Amino acid sequence: MSELTEQYLATCRRFTDVVDAVTDWSAPSPCEEWTAADVVEHVVSGEQKFLREQGADLAELPGDGPAERWHAHVEQAGSVLADEGFARREYDGFMGPTTPEKQLASFYGFDQAVHRWDLGRAAGLDVELTGAELDSVEANLDALGDMLYTQGACHDPLEAPDGADRQTRLLARMGRRAG
């Protein structure tokens, strides 16, 4: 297994820990008009769509609830990435040449990290992003620039409190208030 695939799967394991701790899937999340279930569905459907666009032959996921869908998705993604020909196939992505495993580890890893925090907030959990996740969030925010706000992915940036830690500052850049 490549380092990029392992990085992506480690991110999935951290997301799984929060998914498995959710007890109220109807709880509101920091994402406007999204419940905890909606956050998970966003992550699952986005990654499933990406994998299919890259040519992955994926079975339909069960409709038994967010946790079951998440677990089934992670199993499928791991199986697909075990095929190094698929995982390392180069293509022209939105930000230039890339591979499926690199896109999953970078952009989708960023998406999972941020939404793990969102899901944790919905569940009443304190979620601390790792240093590597914070690096990924910052790199993706820098790369996406104003497009992040014009496409409606995030609210306008908020002012972080004086002396705020890195996670709080990065979340504020995405219109999220930690604390």
Can you give the pLDDT at residue 152? 54
Residue carrying structure tokens 């490549």? 2
Count the alpha carbons within 13 Å of 155 in the hemisphere toward its beta carbon: 11
Residue-wise over 34-57: b if at least 16 C-beta within 10 A, else e?
bbbbbbbbbbbeebbebbeebebe
Residue 168's Cβ-count burial label (10 Å; 0-12, 13-18, 19+) is: middle
In the chain, which residues have pLDDT < 50? none
Query: Residue 143: CB partners within 8 Å, gap ≥ 6?
Result: 95
* Angle between helical axes of 131-144 and 3-19 (0-180°, round to 10): 100
SS3 35: strand
Can you give the pLDDT at residue 21? 98
- What domains lie within the chain, and their CATH numbers? 3-173 (1.20.120.450)
Can you give the pLDDT at residue 153? 64
CA distance 16 to 112: 10
CA distance 62 to 54: 21
Can you give the pLDDT at residue 104? 97
